[in-house]
Structure 1
Amino acid sequence: MSELNTAEKQLQSWHAWLASNRGDRARLRRAESPEDILLTDAFFHFLEKMDQAVPNWSQQTPMLTSACIAGALSHVKTDKQTPSRIHNSKANTDRKTASFAEQLAMPPEGKNKAPMSELRFQQLQKSPTVDDFYRRIIRAIRLLDGNVNVVSLANDIIHWHQEFNQPFGRHPAKRLAVRWATDYFTALPKNKD
């Protein structure tokens, strides 16, 4: 099994663990910033679990990034693994799940409006600080009523932090904002004007 699959399974396992450890979940939810999360025992439990599955997770992943993931996952009620509407074709037998950005654009059953407006989506993409990004991620999770693809969310948080801490590369298509925009605007319901 690859290290990536192990990390994904561990993230899902830790999210499930939170459901039966309501006190830890509540402490993480009360944290207003990733720095507040660093001061909780639940965060150190998260690091311990991730280090068991992925050797050197805590050395490879910056503390604030891990804290942001742990805090965000505490707000997720259900690990929603729905088929992607934009990345699955009839010819492709390897089915992909909807990404976090795609979920933000997919209207809930019986509705025709995206959970997150274009304005809020653009604000999330352009978050100027770690704390601002964290608050907006939590707001996005709430707009999805806590039903989020856990693995996609965690990967996106890692990607955002990497880009925030390092200058952009020469390949715009590899940037998180471009990938998010592609998934969001492709999945966004089109007006029939």
Structure 2
Amino acid sequence: MTDPTDGSGPDGPVPPIARWHADLQKRKGDRAALRRAQTIDEVYVVPSFHTLLRRLGWTLSSRTPGDDEIARLAMVLADVEHDTGQPSPRWGDALGRAFGTPRKDVPKAHVSHARFRQLAATDDLDEFVRLLRGALHLIKHEAPLLDLAEVVRAWHHPARRQQVRRTLFLAYFETAPETETTDA
């Protein structure tokens, strides 16, 4: 078994976000602080957030990628307990499928159509993070980590957001039970 914190995996190098997430699972206090955080200001005081910034190549002089973007990313990724690792041909595909996957007990999607539509429709970044964290709870905190990360990052850029939004909808409706897609 490979250790994602050492930078290597069975298929080669492990992406920095996956390494950071694996390390965060060991830092229970930081993970709890990020999960409790309601604002990005609350994220800035958590040491693991600064580790993520460094791993993504952020510097004070470049401020690229955006530090607020990475703060929101840390808030969301802290809510993921298990990376499903599902490969995704397009960003948003695996996440949309996870939300639309039928529940075992009833023929309904894990995330209802109404809730999914509200999540995908928002352009407000903080509202998006709040709704996304709620949706992660509904899928039992199991999500495709890298796909989720790219969705969060894309939401900060209007052109990318629109493209990812469409992919999310296509994947959700392809996976959701027909009862879910006809009730709205």
Structures share a fold, TM > 0.5?
A: yes
TM-score range, shorter chain: 0.7 to 0.9
Identity of aligned residues (%): 25
The aligned counterpart of 2:175 is: 187
8 Å contact kept, 2:24–2:48: no
- For residues 12 and 66 of structure 2, the distance between their equivalents in structure 1, rounded to whole angstroms, comes to 19
The aligned counterpart of 1:34 is: 40
Which ranges in structure 2 are unaligned for 5 or more consecutive residues? 1-10
Residue 48 of structure 2 aligns to a residue whose secondary structure is helix
Residue 175 of structure 1 aligns to a residue whose secondary structure is helix
**1:127 CA displacement:** 1.7
The aligned counterpart of 2:50 is: 44
Q: Report how many aligned residue pairs link the two structures.
A: 168
Q: Pairwise CA RMSD of aligned residues?
A: 3.1
**1:60 CA displacement:** 2.7
Which ranges in structure 1 are unaligned for 5 or more consecutive residues? 88-96
1:19-98 correspondence runs (5 A) = 19-51=25-57, 59-82=63-86
Normalised to the residue count of structure 2, the TM-score between the two structures is 0.79
Letter in 1 for 2:85: Q
Letter in 2 for 1:149: P
**1:31 CA displacement:** 0.5
Normalised to the residue count of structure 1, the TM-score between the two structures is 0.75
- For residues 133 and 77 of structure 1, the distance between their equivalents in structure 2, rounded to whole angstroms, comes to 20
8 Å contact kept, 1:33–1:134: no
Letter in 2 for 1:123: Q
**For the structure 1 residues 108 and 80, does the alpha-carbon distance in structure 2 shift closer, same or farther, using more than 3 Å as the test?**
farther
- For residues 110 and 56 of structure 2, the distance between their equivalents in structure 1, rounded to whole angstroms, comes to 31
**For the structure 1 residues 7 and 41, does the alpha-carbon distance in structure 2 shift closer, same or farther, using more than 3 Å as the test?**
farther
- For residues 8 and 179 of structure 1, the distance between their equivalents in structure 2, rounded to whole angstroms, comes to 25
Deviations 1:74-133 (A, max 9, x none): 11000013477xx7xxxxxxxxx9611110001244542211111111110122422111
Letter in 2 for 1:40: V
Residue 178 of structure 2 aligns to a residue whose secondary structure is coil
1:147-166 correspondence runs (5 A) = 147-163=142-158
8 Å contact kept, 1:24–1:42: yes
Letter in 1 for 2:163: R
Task: Please identify, of 103-112 and 71-80, the stretch whose mean Cα deviation from structure 2 is larger.
Answer: 103-112
8 Å contact kept, 1:34–1:134: no
Structure 1 residue corresponding to 2:107, chosen from 104, 109, 112: 112
Residue 75 of structure 1 aligns to a residue whose secondary structure is coil
Structure 2 residue corresponding to 1:175, chosen from 156, 163, 180: 163
Task: Please identify, of 37-46 and 150-159, the stretch whose mean Cα deviation from structure 2 is larger.
Answer: 37-46
The aligned counterpart of 1:91 is: none
Letter in 1 for 2:17: L
8 Å contact kept, 1:72–1:138: yes
**For the structure 1 residues 107 and 82, does the alpha-carbon distance in structure 2 shift closer, same or farther, using more than 3 Å as the test?**
farther
**For the structure 1 residues 99 and 40, does the alpha-carbon distance in structure 2 shift closer, same or farther, using more than 3 Å as the test?**
same
Letter in 2 for 1:23: G
